[in-house]
């Protein structure tokens, strides 16, 4: 914009120079014509000036015009210098932005290296004989009903002490929060889920997403969790594993603030959460609060949801396309259940409070739709008219046959890149092929210029049955 204004000013000044030159020559011609006596002289009582006087007047006039021309030429030169400076500053700004990205990437690499070295040091210390460590003093009870979190041993340098996962690391583009519990027969769902995520993260420091994704895995059950401990060791040795922070609950996640939890074992119903589901809701609340402030966007995930091939490519695509289409949005779906839901980083504490307040009324995967679709006066006020979108395809594969939330067997879960229509999701959150037959993000009632910003990608669409 500044460059365009400078060039406009330069053009305007050049036009003024031309006008002054033309006016000067016009006056000279008029004066010469008058001095030659040609034409009809205007009536005048004053004596006609001598040719020498006319020449003197013309010389003075030309000198004044030359002075004016020099002034305008100087202003033109100044305007051109401004235009050149604007262009130079833009190039310098671009260089500074590239240098900033490079420095951030180098910082992330250094932090990752530091985490690996620290993990190696901890492992070496663990092999040496040590005296029994004194028991830590009991944690002071807190007023909030949500749990306190602590970083587990061998936590990466990105791990937050005390109640969240924050650190001196720069704000990320995305944080993925997940809760983990031991599985029957010690099935390694957690390790499989983490390896799929970390394996698709960018490894090129020049990539804008390099080091800009954080994963927070929280152990939400008391007692041993063998696969959790194994995952900590594995991530410390895996390239890109420093993106993962491991936290543990160190006190119970409280009670339902709206009333006493039903007795353990009470059946509840498909839309009325029992004590187990309410506790899981509070675990999600704890995870949200642990991730507050870490990134521009938050992604809900469970430890038995494996990222599909090309899944991270789809993650980037969905976030960039939603921003291009809508500007401001409240949520975007890319999977089913309490998984594959993006919300903005600013909404993390807001939705955590909403979940905690309404945990006795509906399960969390119903409350999240109620919230981002604005189905209640409270959630509509928090939505503020923003769009809730849906990616056309599922990008997470469920491991096993049992639902984490309801502990019930499901006949079939959606496959990788199966369409997320109203047969899979509530209508308020599902992709509509009727509304958007030629698009992969719903709603798609945006201008062609916005659609051109993020060209559509061909995905490995599932075409199976059953």
Same domain, 157 and 8: no
Phi-psi region of 211 (alpha: psi -120 to 50; beta: other; left: phi over 0): left
CATH number where 183 lies: 3.90.550.10
pLDDT at 344 over 60: yes
Same domain, 308 and 449: yes
Same domain, 185 and 215: yes
Question: What per-residue confidence (pLDDT) applies to 141?
Answer: 36
Q: Which of 63, 92, 126 is the last residue of a domain?
A: 126
Same domain, 187 and 329: yes
Question: What per-residue confidence (pLDDT) applies to 463?
Answer: 75
pLDDT at 47 over 50: yes
Kindly report whether the global pTM for this prediction surpasses the value 0.85: no
pLDDT tens for each residue of 189-206 = 999 999 999 999 999 999
Same domain, 363 and 433: yes
Confidence of residue 326 (pLDDT cuts 50, 70, 90): very high
pLDDT at 108 over 90: no
Residue 141, in any domain of the structure:
no
Same domain, 305 and 159: yes
Mean pLDDT of 231-242: 95
Residue 138, in any domain of the structure:
no
Within 8 A by CB and 6+ apart from 191, the residues are 227, 230, 231, 234
Same domain, 383 and 449: yes
How far the first Cα of the chain sits from its last, in Å, is 56
Q: How far apart are alpha carbons 413 and 399 in whole angstroms?
A: 9
pLDDT at 222 over 60: yes
Q: Which of 91, 126, 161 is the last residue of a domain?
A: 126
pLDDT tens for each residue of 144-197 = 444 556 665 433 333 333 345 555 568 999 999 999 999 888 899 999 999 999
Same domain, 68 and 152: no
The partner residues of 314 in beta bridges, in order of sequence, read none
Confidence of residue 253 (pLDDT cuts 50, 70, 90): low
Domain residue limits at 248 = 146-258+271-453
Question: What per-residue confidence (pLDDT) applies to 63?
Answer: 72
Residue 44, in any domain of the structure:
no
Residue 140, in any domain of the structure:
no
Question: What per-residue confidence (pLDDT) applies to 462?
Answer: 85
Same domain, 444 and 310: yes
Question: What per-residue confidence (pLDDT) applies to 184?
Answer: 87
Same domain, 182 and 326: yes
Q: What angle do CA 222, 227, 232 make, to 5 degrees?
A: 95
Place of tokens 């503020």: 384
Three-class secondary structure of residue 235 per DSSP: helix
* Token representation of residue 310: 């090309």
Total domains present in the chain = 2
Residue 381, in any domain of the structure:
yes
Residue 460, in any domain of the structure:
no
Residue 134, in any domain of the structure:
no
Same domain, 194 and 107: no
pLDDT at 239 over 70: yes
Question: What per-residue confidence (pLDDT) applies to 359?
Answer: 96
Peptide bond preceding 443 in cis form (omega within 30 of 0): yes
pLDDT tens for each residue of 423-463 = 999 999 999 999 999 999 999 999 999 999 999 999 998 87
Q: Which of 126, 154, 173 is the last residue of a domain?
A: 126
Residue 74 main-chain phi, psi, to 5 deg: -65, -40
Q: According to DSSP H, which parts of 175-260 are helical?
A: 189-198, 226-237
Within 8 A by CB and 6+ apart from 21, the residues are 65, 69
Helix (H) or strand (E) holding 113: helix 51-127
Mean pLDDT over all residues of the chain? 77
Place of tokens 């004590």: 275
Same domain, 107 and 198: no
Residue 135, in any domain of the structure:
no
Confidence of residue 261 (pLDDT cuts 50, 70, 90): low
40: Cα separation from own chain's centroid:
80
Q: How far apart are alpha carbons 169 and 180 in whole angstroms?
A: 24
């Amino acid at each position: 914009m500044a460059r365009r204004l400078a060039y406009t000013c330069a053009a305007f000044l050049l036009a003024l120079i031309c006008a002054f030159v033309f006016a000067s020559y016009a006056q000279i011609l008029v004066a010469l014509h008058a001095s030659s006596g040609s034409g009809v002289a205007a009536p005048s009582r004053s004596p006609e000036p001598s040719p020498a006087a006319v020449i003197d007047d013309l010389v003075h006039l030309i000198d004044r015009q030359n002075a004016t021309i020099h002034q305008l030429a100087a202003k033109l030169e100044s305007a051109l210098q401004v235009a050149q400076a604007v262009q130079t500053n833009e190039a310098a700004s671009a260089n500074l932005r590239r240098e900033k990205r490079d420095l951030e990437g180098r910082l992330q690499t250094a932090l990752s290296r530091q985490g690996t070295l620290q993990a190696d040091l901890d492992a070496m210390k663990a092999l040496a004989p040590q005296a029994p460590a004194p028991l830590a003093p009991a944690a002071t009870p807190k007023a909030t009903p949500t749990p306190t979190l602590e970083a587990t041993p061998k936590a990466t340098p990105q791990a937050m002490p005390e109640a969240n996962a924050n650190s001196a690391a720069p704000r990320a583009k995305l944080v993925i929060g997940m809760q983990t519990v031991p599985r029957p027969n010690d099935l390694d769902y957690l390790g499989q889920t983490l390896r799929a995520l970390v394996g698709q993260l960018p490894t090129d420091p020049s990539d804008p997403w390099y080091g800009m994704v954080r994963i927070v895995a929280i152990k939400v059950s008391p007692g041993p969790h063998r696969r959790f401990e194994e995952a900590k060791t594995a991530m410390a040795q895996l390239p890109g594993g420093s993106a993962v922070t491991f936290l543990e609950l160190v006190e119970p996640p409280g009670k339902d603030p709206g009333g006493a939890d039903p007795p353990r074992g009470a059946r509840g119903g498909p839309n009325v959460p029992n004590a187990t589901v309410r506790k899981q809701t509070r675990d999600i609340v704890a995870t949200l609060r642990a991730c507050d402030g870490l990134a521009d966007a938050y992604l809900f995930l469970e430890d038995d949801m494996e990222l599909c091939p090309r899944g991270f490519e789809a993650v980037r695509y969905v976030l960039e396309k939603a921003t291009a289409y809508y500007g401001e949005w409240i949520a975007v779906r890319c999977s089913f259940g309490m998984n594959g839901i993006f919300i903005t980083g600013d909404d993390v504490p807001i939705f955590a409070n909403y979940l905690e307040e309404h945990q006795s009324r509906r399960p969390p995967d119903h409350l999240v739709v109620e919230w981002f679709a604005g189905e209640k006066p409270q959630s509509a006020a928090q939505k503020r008219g923003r769009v809730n979108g849906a990616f056309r395809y599922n990008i997470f594969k469920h491991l096993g046959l049992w639902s984490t939330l309801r502990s019930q067997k499901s006949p079939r879960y959606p496959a990788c890149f199966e369409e997320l229509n109203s047969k899979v999701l509530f209508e308020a959150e599902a992709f509509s092929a009727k509304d958007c037959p030629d698009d992969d993000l719903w709603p798609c009632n945006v201008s062609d210029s916005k659609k051109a910003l993020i060209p559509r990608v061909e995905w490995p669409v599932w075409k199976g049955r059953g």
